[in-house]
Amino acid sequence: MPNENSYEVALQKSNAIREGLAKTPEKFTMLTGDRPTGRLHLGHYFGTLKGRVELQDMGAKTNVLIADYQVITDRDTTEHIQDNVYNMVMDYLACGIDPDKTMIYTHSAVPAANQLMLPFLSLVSEAELARNPTVKAEMEASGHELTGLLLTYPVHQACDILFCKGNVVPVGRDQLPHIELTRTIARRFNNRYGKVFPEVDALLSETPLLPGLDGRKMSKSYGNAINISMTAEETAKRIKKSQTDSERMITFDPENRPGVSGLLSTAAICTGRSEVEIAEEIGMGGSGQLKKYVTEAVNGYFAPIRERRQRYENDLDYVKDVLHEGNRRANEIAEQTLAEVRDAMGMVY
């Protein structure tokens, strides 16, 4: 018997939501977010940003959170955070997130949403928090000790989702334990105090995870990612430097030829062609020709996005206005939800 936590069940629900979205988009409230620890890259774009824009344009209610309090879950500084937040807004706008349709906001500007943390913490046990596999993995990857925030941030993520009564959360597979915890918290709150919160489901990406240029997991620390904000020249340089192998004939073989295959996957996603087709076309052209093809594919796809981004880079006042308006709306919604929570809990004096 598959249990409720299993990936297969999440995938089935995700597919059902996709069908529902096509029929009655207005019934869905999406919330998702990013940690502002650096620039967004092609993995973010094809993995989630593009999908957010689609949901937005279909007519779902869409909310995007810049999760600034999550930055300090596994690092001890907020250096560069303001710059990262502004640049994240620029990436969003450049990629087609429309601030008239989508609310863009930050954790730290919405006190009433953060206050949900108190009742929510009372609904989970220490043991439940301690067995979250994603928290464990993040602790190991960062080498950071298990602070109170690292242990409990999945509860805070439930506040993110539930303050706006989100019912669809587009996320990667690693975030499923957090969605499950959100469902648990909503259910327990509703059982204990009366129904306030909706049932939440993950919307899993249909595009397979895009590897980095060298075929490894795409990561800032590996230098194998292309950022949305890079110039065409920076992109060309990064592709030129990426590691391939000594075999001239280009073939798609992710196991044995991670470098060549990472480049092929990057070109494939930008052109809509298959890796094998591109490999066959380049054939004995070798990695020089492959890199030229990838560079043109990436720069061609991102040219209009980057052109828009440049306009926002030159208009920081507008970027700030977008965020201030998003934060204002988020506060309105959070105050409303917190009032319902106080009411349900009998804390109205």
- The residues that touch ligand TRP, with contacts defined as CB under 6 A, are 31-35, 65, 67, 70, 157, 160-161, 169, 171, 175
Residue closer to ligand TRP by CB (options 70, 224) is: 70
Q: What angle separates helix 316-344 from helix 286-313, to the nearest 10 degrees?
A: 80
| 64 vs 278, beta carbon nearer ligand TRP | 64
Q: Which of 161, 250, 153, 265 is nearest to 208 (CA)?
A: 265
User: What are the structure tokens assigned to 14, written together?
Assistant: 């995700």
CB of 200 to ligand TRP, least distance (A): 9
Chain centre to alpha carbon of residue 342? 31
Pick left, alpha or beta for residue 59 (phi over 0 → left; psi -120 to 50 → alpha; otherwise beta).
left
Smallest distance, ligand TRP to C-beta of residue 219, A = 13
Task: End-to-end CA distance of the chain: give it in Å, rounded.
Answer: 48
- By beta-carbon proximity to ligand TRP, the closer residue of 158 and 236 is 158
Cβ-based nearer residue to ligand TRP, 105 or 302: 105
Q: How does DSSP classify residue 72?
A: G
Identity of the residue, 44 or 291, whose beta carbon is nearer to ligand TRP in the bound complex: 44
CB of 158 vs ligand TRP, minimal distance in Å: 8
- Alpha-carbon torsion 135, 188, 107, 21, what sign? positive
Please identify, using beta-carbon distances, which residue of 135 and 322 lies nearer to ligand TRP: 135
Structure tokens at 136: 């464990």
Give the phi and the psi of residue 84 in degrees, each rounded to 5. Answer: -65, -40
63 strand-pairing partners: 31, 103
Residue 293 Cβ vs ligand TRP, minimum distance, rounded to whole Å: 31
- The residue (of 40 and 290) whose beta carbon lies closer to ligand TRP is 40
Q: What is the DSSP string of 129-188?
A: HHT-HHHHHHHHHHT----HHHHHHHHHHHHHHHHTT--EEEE-GGGHHHHHHHHHHHHH
Min dist CB 179 to ligand TRP, Å, is 8
- For residue 106, the minimal CB distance to ligand TRP (Å) is 11
- Measure the CA angle with vertex 184, ends 133 and 174; round to 5°: 30
User: What values do phi and psi take at 139, rounded to 5?
Assistant: -65, -45
Residue 70 CB, shortest distance to ligand TRP, in Å, is: 5
Q: How far is the CB of 157 from ligand TRP (least distance, A)?
A: 4
* 204 sits in which H/E element: strand 201-204
Q: Which is nearer to ligand TRP, 161 or 185 (CB)?
A: 161
